[in-house]
Structure 1
Amino acid sequence: MGLADMEDGRLYRTRVMHRRLFPVDYRFIYRVFSLVVDVDRLDALDRRLRLLSVNRFNLLSLDDRDHGARDGTPLRPWAETQLAQAGVDLDGGRIFLLAFPRVLGYVFNPLSLFYCLHRDGSLRAIICEVSNTLGDCHHYVLHNQDQPMDWPVRASQDKLFYVSPFIEMDARYQFRLSEPGQGLSVLIHEYQQSKLMLAASQTGHVRPLTDHELLKAVATMPLMTFKVIFGIHWQALKIWWKGGKYYSKPSSSSEEMN
């Protein structure tokens, strides 16, 4: 049950965990639900589901303005441009987006992933779309020089984008990303001077993408996207209260693809 077997989309009920080890030690966990959707079949989802719409208001919605160029243009041409700059050619292969949907018109996605498959079904790249609460975003393209990538994907990247006011820019990420199938697993470790400083994960299990399952998810996790942004600010307040050092946004912080 891999990505190549997916029709138009899947629902994942998951748990997000953050653990910071120094200089302030804290850990928090919250439940969320995410969608994995084929970016070329969003119109089919829009027609098939009553509770989920595309580019229009509903209880749940997906909007092109929340990802990619963030100007409402389709996601596939944008993704293909990013891939071309990295030397990756999918030859018309499928692209899947992992993200939170809007709930009552609101969403904040700290991390969204574009899984990019070649026409032959092999994984060729993952675009990691990182956003901060200031409205900025940055895209890291994980790839293997236009060659197939093995699951789970293991990759590392220097930190080039300001995310948290309590974490220095001098850091490096390590990713471990599994193929969304029966389960979902996204693991990210952040290191400072080769020392693990932050561990974050999103793990869970698949559910059919139906109106019934969407309603159950909303009923058990109401106002989920509002909870995400509130939780980020609440944890920041606790770090500040515990004496965490504040780092201002650097003026040279890049928002381009890496």
Structure 2
Amino acid sequence: MSKTPAALGADAAAGAAHLQPAVCFGAVMHERHTVANNRFVYPCAFLRLPLSRIDDLKVPLLGIERANFFSFRRRDHGARDGSALLPWLQRVLDTYGLRAVCDGEVVLQTMPRVFGYVFNPVSFWFCHDASGALRVVLAQVNNTFGERHNYLVHHADVRAIESGDALRARKVFHVSPFFPLSGEYRFRFERRGRVHAVQIDLWDEGVLQLSTRIGGRAEVLDGHAMRRWLLRQPFMTLGVIARIHWQALRLAMRRVRFHRKPLPPQEETSR
């Protein structure tokens, strides 16, 4: 049976919802599977910002390039010099011959500054084609040593990335001193209705070492959602740093092997 125009319109609206500005409330999970098995989950929230609309956003409590309870600053992302984000991303895509297939919206999934402070362990740039299909994801990773690296992930034939597809990237950037600089990441990007989630598994020599998952349910990015965030998690970014160091202390107390920090990779981006 063919769908009515109203049903088709509803499908189109639902399909485009992942390209709209949103705030997601959910949780982060980490699980160490090898020596000193350790698992923890804590609540989190993050923004999903279409780059074409960032400069036009006017949301209570959220400042775009200005101070507020929450704020988004271009200097926290991309080239980190305050320059426009989309041209920077396009240059990265050009370098790897990927710009032609990423001719649609780019959605940046990240944490904002809270009371002026921010630490993003990882931000994701979701690059879509003109039809809204996801083709490429750039994962911009930061470690607690002030270093950063970009993992560019996509299918070898650059076909659309479907929910749950596994995309691989060789580990080249030091994050945790309790894992060596070896192995590969397997990324999975999931979208089920309003729920957005990213699963990152670290494998080394055929053994699953670490699982990380960040996910949340999207809500309209408005004053109501930001007030809810402020009331529930006013010190979230400080909490991220505190939890990282607390879990590191627990592993150190269990005498897990400590790996010295190597030099960061010479290339800013790898795939």
TM norm structure 2: 0.89
C-alpha distance in 2 between matches for 1:256 and 1:180: 32
Q: Report the AA paired with residue 108 of structure 1.
A: F
Asked if the contact 2:155–2:167 (Cα under 8 Å) also holds between the matched residues in 1, the reply is no
1:131 to 134, 142, 147: 142
C-alpha distance in 2 between matches for 1:174 and 1:6: 22
User: In structure 2, what is the equivalent of residue 148 of structure 1?
Assistant: 159
Give the drift of 1:91: 6.1
Gaps of 5+ in 1: none
| Structure 2 counterpart SS, 1:56 | coil
C-alpha distance in 2 between matches for 1:2 and 1:115: 17
Structure 1 residue 199 and structure 2 residue 206: aligned? Answer: no
User: In structure 2, what is the equivalent of residue 218 of structure 1?
Assistant: 230
Equivalent residues in 2 for 1:94-243, closer than 5 Å = 94-144=105-155, 147-152=158-163, 153-179=165-191, 181-243=193-255
Asked if the contact 1:171–1:191 (Cα under 8 Å) also holds between the matched residues in 2, the reply is yes
Asked if the contact 1:64–1:73 (Cα under 8 Å) also holds between the matched residues in 2, the reply is yes
Q: Report the AA paired with residue 143 of structure 1.
A: H
230-239 or 142-151, which moves further after superposition? 142-151
User: In structure 2, what is the equivalent of residue 5 of structure 1?
Assistant: 17
147-156 or 219-228, which moves further after superposition? 147-156
2:67 to 35, 57, 76: 57
2:263 to 248, 251, 257: 251
User: In structure 1, what is the equivalent of residue 87 of structure 2?
Assistant: 77
Gaps of 5+ in 2: 1-12
Give the drift of 1:252: 5.3
Q: Choose between structure 1 and 2: higher helix proportion.
A: 2
Give the drift of 1:213: 1.2
Give the drift of 1:145: 5.1
Alignment coverage as a number of residue pairs: 256
Give the drift of 1:255: 5.1
When the two chains are superposed, the root-mean-square deviation of aligned CA atoms in Å is: 1.8
| Structure 1 counterpart SS, 2:75 | helix
Give the drift of 1:27: 1.0
Structure 2 CA distance for partners of 1:33 and 1:180, relative to 1, 3 Å: farther
Q: Report the AA paired with residue 74 of structure 1.
A: A
C-alpha distance in 1 between matches for 2:102 and 2:228: 38
Percent of aligned pairs with the same amino acid = 34
Give the drift of 1:247: 0.8
1:43 to 55, 77, 84: 55
Structure 2 CA distance for partners of 1:147 and 1:255, relative to 1, 3 Å: closer
Q: Report the AA paired with residue 156 of structure 1.
A: R
